[in-house]
Amino acid sequence: MPVGFITHPDYRKHVAGPGHPERPERIRAVLEAVARREIDEHLQRIEPEPVPDELLASVHARHYIEQIRQMSREGGGMLDPDTAVSPGSFDVASLAAGGAVAAVRAVLTDGLPAAFAAVRPPGHHARPAQGMGFCLFNNAACAATAAQQHHGCPRILILDWDVHHGNGTQEIFYRSPAVLFISLHQDRWYPGTGAIEETGAGDGVGFTINIPLPAGAGNMGYAHVFEEVVLPVAQAFAPELLLISAGYDAHAGDPLGGMTLTAGGFRRLTAMVRGVHAGPIAAVLEGGYDLAHLGKSVVATIEALAGIAASPDEAEGVEEAPYTAVRARTRAVRSVVRHFWNI
């Protein structure tokens, strides 16, 4: 089946500085991997547009939006030691959010069953009034908000499998029962949020599910958590739209994580959610900082969305954390989730 593929050459114009892991070459690595696998016949390429200011202001505080705009006009600067604004960053970040919105439009209006937005900078750490963790605007949150405002989508599941907790996305939707946020992330890792007990507030209680996994969790461990928590909750919630915050820094070869997933592992996770959710799926690139593994993992995800036969995996020799540790954490998560969901 065809998959919408959204990207833009201007995504390379955001420059975080010499030696920074969130670098323009990430987009080139994805495009080269797609070209090597020769899957163009399965892709419908879509060129994004910048996200409208009014939509951006539905997610972020106006004073913060203007702060990023002004910093870009004045030559850039640092929001924190990790998060840079360069002269082109406002336009690129707006275009990145627009890429996520284009992915939603592709699956909700244009009739495509799935879409993948290869964008940068990433977005899931961006809070309503604060950029952090390499992120300026929250791409997934903009996409979900567009689905609500422009497509009348009443139930949205955001599944975040980046190795880092999506604290910004969680904060934006923490009180909303219309958006179910599920995050799998490395325990006691940046930014330090995402405890099991963080389950939402107000009307949104139960609509945030955090699954902090022990370092070293890999293909088997993640699949177990999907089977025991993610898939049953997804089936119970029955979303009209599934958004994947698709970070690949949980790959065994990534320099910024301590997990042991492989490209084949990401393929399996994608196939698993596709198996229980027949509706629209839009994936948005988040982290992933080893260029070779990033490209392979993105391709594996796209192939699973398109139903393309698997390419060889590199799982041999990757040692996972003890399965007992993952099972114990899964039981702990289920004991909390059962208060809200019949799983």
Q: What are the residue numbers of the active site?
A: 125
Q: Is the peptide bond before 18 cis (omega within 30 degrees of 0)?
A: no
* 3 state DSSP class of 261: strand
**Identity of the residue numbered 59:** V
Q: Phi-psi bin for 216: left (phi > 0), alpha (psi -120 to 50), beta?
A: left
What gap in Å lies between CA 82 and CA 176, rounded to an integer? 29
Residue burial 138-167, b: 16+ Cβ < 10 Å; e: rest: bbbbbbbbbbbeebebebbbbbbbbbbbbb
Q: Could you tell me the CA-to-CA distances from 18 to 14, 21, 22, 79, 84 in Å, in that order? A: 12, 9, 10, 16, 11
Is the separation of the CB atoms in 38 and 303 below 8 Å? no
Nearest to 194 by CA among 160, 216, 165, 169: 165
Backbone angles phi, psi at 211, to 5 degrees: -125, 80
Count of CB atoms situated within 10 Å of the CB of 286: 30
